[in-house]
């Protein structure tokens, strides 16, 4: 199995192109199930999760065609992919496919809306908490579906079709908002989703659905209203830039020092994280081309952070920020409020010399640790990349095992960092 080898010590300088967002790409691809016409997605990142979802969708009958390179296109540019679910040939999503990625459970919304029945395995995904699916089930039931859990499958039907309703999420959920919004586009009547997720990826999906003929208002606020329509049609949509990839590289530069342009990044997608980085003493400049991040010689200040749904500080940047804080002056307290078990990187960061103590949902990070290279491994995507960030400043060699986690969500990570001066390579372990 591949590993990533890093020799710490180099500053990062140059340009990193930001890819299309994984967490927007996945629901957008799933939206192709809602129409028999072609959905063309531009700026789709080359990621293992995207490939995995392609397999799941093809099992339902979605054809998937990657367009060839065009004149002027760079190898770092996103792909253009044509998806078409002319006919749904199978409404079952089996365990062996769904268990690899939680987001694949979201097909339950479009399948139920278009086919009036489906049988979807309960999900797997990163080991970051229990991550139940009760909001999906309750929400779809509110739209008139009958759902039973049978031997690890959600067996759903709505013989008369889904019907618009009001539903309030008891806690903000990105995936449940995506799923109910997609389902409601083809329901009869009006659906009002209260306490909806306001994440930019929800707005991106809503924009794409609107381009497909859906009638949606309020995406990006906590109340989304959807007037059901008879049918959706094809559309062309460009995936928004990845705010988590942006924040990750911004933290890498804050860690190593240097000056990097994150090309194509949009500050409005991660303002809370950029504000925190500025408080640490990192330079952030928003330009026409993207976001420039710099730190030259100044010490890093410890800052306390609490993760929150958007527009708060994202849980998907918590591990990376923790890596950064191991090098700050003073102690930083990081509070995780979204997932109950998202501190598995703590013991791996400790292997590199970090001093972090856990107290329930809080981690106290003692700054100023001299990190030293070691073998490490992580059990989820963002935790893995936090180890890469730490490895960039650790003395000597760090080997990050289980690279497949990184490949789920970071496109050409080692190429992007190498281009900015890091010593990082993929090796066969
Ligand atoms: C999305 O996961 C992201 N995944 C996650 O990114 C991200 O960490 C998370 O949102 C929070 O921002 C994708 O977009 C593909 P949730 P999702 O439903 O939708 C609880 C990454 O690294 N909950 O918003 O699965 C749940 O347990 C990934 O890219 C219920 O209780 O997360 C959690 O505590 C990891 N019942 C909270 O809500 C439900 O039915 C928020 O989860 C659903 C969720």
Residue of 19, 103, 104, 174 to mutate, ligand 1, most atoms within 8 A of C-beta: 174
Q: Rounded to whole angstroms, how far apart are CA atoms 310 and 314?
A: 7
Same fold, 2-18+241-428 and 22-238: yes
What confidence score (pLDDT) does residue 128 get? 47
Q: What are phi and psi of 299, to 5 degrees?
A: -75, 155
Q: Ligand 1: list residues with CB < 6 Å.
A: 23, 26, 102-103, 126, 129, 131-136, 171, 173-176, 315-316, 338-339, 381-382, 409
Q: How far away, in angstroms, is 35 Cα from ligand 1 center?
A: 26
Does the active-site annotation cover 126?
yes
Which pLDDT belongs to residue 126?
47
pLDDT tens sequence across 170-197 = 999 999 999 999 999 999 999 999 999 9
Q: pLDDT value at position 125?
A: 46
Kindly give the distance from the C-alpha atom of residue 110 to the centroid of ligand 1, in angstroms, as a whole number.
19
Determine the pLDDT at residue 242: 98
CB atoms within 10 A of CB 395: 14
Residue nearest to atom 7 of ligand 1 (CA): 316
63-66 sheet: strands from edge to edge: 63-66, 79-84, 38-44, 235-238
- Cα–Cα distance measured from residue 226 to residue 204, given in angstroms and rounded to the nearest whole number: 15
How do the domains of the chain map onto residue ranges?
2-18+241-428, 22-238
What is the Cα–Cα distance from 111 to 92, expressed in whole angstroms?
9
CATH superfamily of 22-238: Enolpyruvate transferase domain (3.65.10.10)
pTM: 0.97
pLDDT in tens, 222-236: 999 999 999 999 999
For 263-284, write each residue's pLDDT tens digit: 999 999 999 999 999 999 999 9
Distance, CA of 68 to CA of 72 (rounded, Å): 12
Could you identify the atom of ligand 1 that is nearest to the CA of residue 129? 27
Strand order in the sheet with 397-401: 375-377, 397-401, 2-7, 423-428
Q: What number does the ligand 1 atom closest to the CA of 338 have?
A: 34
Please provide the size of the chain in residues: 429
Phi-psi region of 164 (alpha: psi -120 to 50; beta: other; left: phi over 0): beta
What's the farthest any 2 CA atoms get from each other in the chain?
A: 66
Tokens of 17: 């192109």
> What is the Cα–Cα distance from 368 to 370, expressed in whole angstroms?
6
d(CA 246, CA 194): 29
C-beta separation of 278 from 320 below 8 A: no
Element (H, E) at 406: helix 404-409
> By C-alpha distance, which of 347, 306, 355 is closest to 331?
355
| Minimum CA distance residue for ligand 1 atom 17 | 175
How confident is the prediction for the chain on average, in pLDDT?
Answer: 95
Record the tokens describing residue 270, joined without a space: 């991660």
Residue 417 alpha carbon to ligand 1 centre in Å: 28
Q: Are 179 and 162 in contact (CB under 8 A)?
A: no
Do 427 and 5 form a contact (C-beta atoms < 8 A)? yes
Mean pLDDT for each consecutive 10-residue tract of the chain (429 residues)?
93 98 98 98 96 96 91 84 98 92 95 98 63 92 96 94 98 98 98 98 98 98 98 98 98 98 98 98 98 94 98 98 97 96 94 96 95 92 96 98 91 97 92
Superfamily of domain 2-18+241-428: Enolpyruvate transferase domain (3.65.10.10)
Of 156, 47, 15, 37, nearest to 92 by C-alpha is 156
Name every residue whose Cβ is closer than 8 Å to that of residue 111 and which is 6 or more positions away in sequence.
33, 60, 88, 91, 93, 117, 118, 120, 156
Q: Is 372 exposed, middle or buried (0-12, 13-18, 19+ CB in 10 A)?
A: middle
């Amino acid at each position: 199995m591949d590993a990533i080898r890093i020799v710490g010590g180099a500053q990062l300088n140059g340009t990193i192109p930001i890819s299309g967002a994984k967490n927007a790409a996945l629901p957008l691809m799933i939206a192709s199930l809602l129409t028999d016409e072609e959905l063309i997605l531009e700026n789709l990142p080359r990621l293992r999760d995207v490939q995995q979802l392609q397999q799941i969708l093809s099992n339902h009958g979605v054809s998937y065609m990657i367009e060839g390179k065009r004149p002027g296109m760079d190898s770092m540019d996103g792909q253009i992919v044509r998806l078409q679910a002319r006919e749904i040939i199978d409404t079952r999503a089996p365990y062996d496919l769904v268990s690899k990625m939680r987001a694949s459970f979201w097909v339950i919304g479009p399948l139920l809306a278009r086919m009036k029945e489906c049988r979807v395995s309960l999900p797997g995904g990163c080991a970051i908490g229990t991550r139940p699916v009760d909001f999906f089930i309750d929400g779809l039931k509110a739209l008139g579906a009958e759902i039973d859990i049978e031997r690890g499958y959600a067996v759903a039907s709505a013989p008369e079709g889904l019907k618009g309703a009001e539903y309030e999420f008891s806690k903000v959920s990105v995936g449940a908002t995506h799923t109910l919004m997609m389902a409601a586009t083809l329901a009869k009547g009006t659906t009002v989703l209260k306490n909806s997720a306001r994440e930019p990826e929800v707005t991106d999906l809503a924009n794409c659905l609107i381009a497909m003929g859906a009638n949606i208002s309020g995406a990006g606020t906590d109340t989304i209203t959807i007037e059901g329509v008879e049918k959706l049609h094809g559309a062309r949509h460009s995936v928004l830039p990845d705010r988590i990839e942006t924040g990750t590289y911004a933290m890498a530069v804050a860690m190593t020092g240097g000056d990097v342009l994150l090309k194509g990044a949009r500050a409005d997608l991660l303002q809370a994280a950029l504000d925190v980085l500025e408080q640490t003493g990192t330079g952030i400049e928003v330009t026409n081309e993207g976001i420039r991040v710099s730190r030259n010689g100044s010490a890093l200040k410890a800052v306390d952070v609490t993760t929150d749904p958007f527009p708060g500080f994202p849980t998907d940047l918590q591990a990376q920020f923790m890596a950064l804080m191991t090098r700050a002056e003073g102690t930083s307290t990081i509070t995780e409020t979204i997932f109950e078990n998202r501190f598995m990187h703590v013991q791996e960061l400790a292997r590199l010399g970090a001093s972090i103590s856990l107290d329930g949902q809080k981690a106290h990070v003692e700054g100023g640790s001299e990190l030293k290279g070691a073998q490490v491994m992580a059990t989820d995507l963002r935790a893995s990349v936090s180890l890469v960030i730490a490895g960039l400043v650790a003395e000597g060699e760090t080997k990050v095992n289980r690279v497949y986690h990184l490949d789920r969500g970071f496109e050409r990570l080692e190429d992007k960092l190498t281009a900015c001066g890091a010593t990082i390579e993929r090796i066969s372990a």
